[in-house]
Structure 1
């Protein structure tokens, strides 16, 4: 099994000397190809900070993050942007689709920028759009789409370049329950059928129950890890129980 990322004892502190706040404390985990990981925890547990560190948006105070044996915490910004472009996909809460482009062009954008063959681009967009259930909306503009359709389009765009890992930051946060379920089912399908590697930060136990593993953060540390069983409903119940025991949101 290919290792995508190895996180070794990372800590993150904010503030000046003498008045420092430690948000993460010696967090370690390994991410393998085909993983679908949800990071959960109470407010202030360090979920967003961990996502920012792993996705190269921020750098840890201590520790290392290895991708293909290279410590990405030691790489300079110009090379980091290249790593983001080639190896990392992002799904944000607020879609970030361009209003003056069709959904087709929005999804195709990462490949178009890299000068890929137009016919191959169209074929790949249609294939992904089919998996996300938005094929019939490809000629529409974002203002003509529902929130759920826009978010599935954003997810397809994040995956169009076949990144090594996709980071999803509260991807269902702005969606209603039906749209959330459609997005999560699509992410689960893409994980199972395309072996896509996904790390999702969420406060929502329902969303987390679609993942294969759930890491619970508390006070900046990994409190425990849950592995999914055969039943998503049973996994959801276990997550709820654990969050309750941690005094979750």
Structure 2
């Protein structure tokens, strides 16, 4: 494990604990304690994931998130904040955050969410060798998804997805032709916080199907009764 993580946190004790725990897990870590330093480190380094506090001196975490997403749609960002309202969480996710942790949190939960976010961004080697990846596009029939620009196109038509819908479709495309159980999907797309709550998978599959399959010549997302779902072209 050599993934690099940027910690953006102005509370020195929290930042130090995160640094120790992440380095113990094998990650390479750098820290920034204000918004300006965070942007400088982000622009001059290569990061696999960013842990971003919302309340920062100088430039807020939300503004940093906006600037990151303006140039980079792929790097996972997990927000750290003392705010706990549903509105704050939805706002952060809608701006492109991959996940959201409310302080205080358990380090085991944060580590699980980091692992899930890092897994989500990887394309399996089998997908590459099977011709399911073309440059930065993931392909399935007339459907293609670009993780860098976060574009989704089917039969030449652009499809608008929410961040979570995009992550779900991306995961299905990366593992297409594989039958994926609900627990497996929850762990990869939603992370630790949703363990045991697989109903959320069914809800979001319905959302994505409505946008990606409805009105097109063939269905790509299929239900495997009693198991889960699979994305594949019709035979």
When normalised by structure 1's length, the TM-score is 0.23
Larger RCO (CA under 8 A, 6+ residues apart): 1
Q: Which has the higher strand share?
A: 1
